[in-house]
C-alpha cells in the first residue's frame, strides 16, 4: 500500500516524530447511490485537510494520544466503477490492514461502504457487534432498485448471520424498515433520537461488554443545525456531547476492531463541518486506544 507523507496524512503531525503506526486511515470516497444531495466523494480529502487544524492535545485524556497510536494514511487511489466491485475492493484493503495487525479507519464516501468494510471482520470473529450512529435505520432491502444503496447499508451488514447492530440517533425510517426491525429485535437494538433524554447508558454493558465492536458513523446522526454538510440531513438529531459519552463507554467495555465515518458532503468555505468530522475521528481513535487491553 502507498501512503501519504506524514505531513499530508491524517492529523499531519511532525514526520520527525517516529512511532510505529497502529492505525491505517483508508480514504474511500465512494459515491454511487446518493439519493438527495451529492458530494460525499470529496469527504475523505476534506476530513484529512481539516485534521491538520485539530489540536493534538486532548484535555480530557491529558495527553497527545497520537503519540501512543501512530497513524498512516493511504494515498488516494481510483475506486472501482461498479458498487459491487468497489465494496470488494474495500474489503480486500481492510483485510490486508488487519492481517498486518493494524486498525482500519475508513473515511467515506457514502454509507454503502460499510458492508464491504466489515467483511474481513465477519470472517475473523465468531460474532461482530456494530455500533451504528445515524439519522436513518438503513434497513431497506433496496432503494431506487439498488440492493447496495446507502439506504440499505445496515440491512446488508445483517445479511451476515454473525452480526448484531445497536443504533443511536435514528429518527427517520420507512414502514418496511420498522416491520423488519420489529421482526428482528434479537439482532437490532435502536436508541431512538426522540428518547435521548431517557437513555440509560448502563444498558450498554449488555450489548457491548466483552464484544468485538465495529463503529460505523453516518454524520447525519448529528442534528442538521450543526451538520448540514450531508446528503440527507435530518432535524432532531444528536449533539457532540450526546455522542462522546456513548463512544467512550463502548470503548471502555468492548473491543473496538475498526471504524468508518461516512456521508460528509463538504460545503465550500464552511470548514467547521469538515473540522467536526476530523475531530470526531481523532476522538474515536483516542478512546479506542486509551482503553484497549
Strand, coil or helix: 237: coil
Which H or E element spans position 49? helix 43-51
Task: Examine the pLDDT at 23 and tell me if it is beyond 60.
Answer: yes
- Top-level class of domain 23-290: alpha beta
- For residue 164, the cross-strand partners are 129
- What pLDDT score does 19 carry? 82
pTM reported for the whole predicted model: 0.96
pLDDT in tens, 24-50: 999 999 987 655 556 899 999 999 999
- What pLDDT score does 36 carry? 57
pLDDT in tens, 224-259: 999 999 989 999 999 999 999 999 999 999 999 999
DSSP symbols for 79-146:
PPSSHHHHHHHHHHHHHHHHHTT-EEEEEESSGGGHHHHHHHHHHH-S-EEEEEE-SB----S-BTTB
Grid cell digits, residue 259: 471504524
Amino acid at each position: 500500500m502507498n501512503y501519504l507523507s506524514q505531513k499530508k496524512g491524517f492529523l499531519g503531525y511532525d514526520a520527525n516524530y517516529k512511532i510505529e503506526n497502529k492505525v491505517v486511515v483508508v480514504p474511500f470516497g465512494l459515491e454511487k447511490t446518493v439519493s438527495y444531495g451529492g458530494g460525499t466523494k470529496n469527504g475523505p480529502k476534506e476530513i484529512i485537510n481539516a485534521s491538520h487544524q485539530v489540536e493534538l492535545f486532548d484535555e480530557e485524556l491529558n495527553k497527545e494520544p497520537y503519540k501512543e497510536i501512530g497513524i498512516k494514511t493511504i494515498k488516494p487511489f481510483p475506486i472501482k466503477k461498479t458498487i459491487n466491485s468497489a465494496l470488494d475492493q474495500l474489503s480486500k484493503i481492510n483485510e490486508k490492514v488487519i492481517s498486518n495487525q493494524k486498525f482500519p479507519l475508513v473515511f467515506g464516501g457514502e454509507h454503502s461502504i460499510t458492508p464491504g468494510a466489515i467483511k474481513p471482520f465477519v470472517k475473523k470473529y465468531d460474532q461482530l457487534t456494530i455500533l451504528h450512529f445515524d439519522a436513518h435505520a438503513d434497513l431497506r432491502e433496496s432503494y431506487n432498485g439498488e440492493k447496495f444503496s446507502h439506504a440499505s447499508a445496515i440491512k446488508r451488514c445483517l445479511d451476515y448471520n454473525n452480526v448484531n447492530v445497536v443504533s443511536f440517533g435514528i429518527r427517520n425510517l420507512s414502514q418496511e424498515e420498522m416491520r423488519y426491525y420489529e421482526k428482528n429485535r434479537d439482532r437490532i437494538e435502536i436508541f431512538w433520537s426522540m428518547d435521548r433524554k431517557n437513555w440509560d447508558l448502563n444498558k450498554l454493558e449488555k450489548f457491548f461488554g466483552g464484544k468485538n465492536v465495529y463503529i460505523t458513523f453516518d454524520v447525519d446522526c448529528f442534528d442538521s443545525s450543526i451538520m448540514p454538510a450531508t446528503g440527507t440531513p435530518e432535524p432532531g438529531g444528536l449533539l457532540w456531547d450526546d455522542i462522546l459519552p456513548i463512544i467512550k463507554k463502548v470503548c471502555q467495555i468492548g473491543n473496538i476492531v475498526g471504524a468508518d465515518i461516512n456521508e460528509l458532503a463538504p460545503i465550500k468555505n464552511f470548514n467547521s463541518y469538515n473540522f467536526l468530522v476530523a475531530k470526531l475521528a481523532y476522538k474515536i481513535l483516542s478512546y479506542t486506544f486509551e482503553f484497549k487491553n
